[in-house]
Amino acid sequence: MGDRARLAGVTIRTLHHYHDIGLLKLCCVGTNGYRCYGEEELLRLQQVLIHRELGIPLGEIAAILNAPGFDRLAAPRQQRGRLEAEASRYRRLVNTIDHTIAKLEGDRVMNHAGLV
């Protein structure tokens, strides 16, 4: 799982912590002692990581993922919608900043030209 942990942007220690608090279960332990995670576990890890990115504490994530009505398809759709809304908000902020920069650069050009 070391390679997969790196791809997911987490450390082996983080995976152990998630296991210790019941957020992520092992698929198996290999004869070499390495922890194995299957597709189901990796999908759950993805959910944990996305919820973390959205600022949800681990305790709440466990409650969400372990809830009887948790819908594994609806959750990523909702997350996508939330991230799209955030992306739109950031695009508006970038546009506002661009307009401010353009205004300030225009004022600077006018000031240096002695027009103000």
- Does pLDDT of 73 surpass 80? yes
Task: Classify the phi-psi angles of 55: left when phi > 0, otherwise alpha if psi is within -120 to 50, otherwise beta.
Answer: left
- Look up the pTM and report it: 0.73
Across residues 100-111, what is the average pLDDT? Answer: 81
Across residues 39-51, what is the average pLDDT? Answer: 93
Specify the DSSP class assigned to residue 27: S
Say which amino acid occupies 102. Answer: A
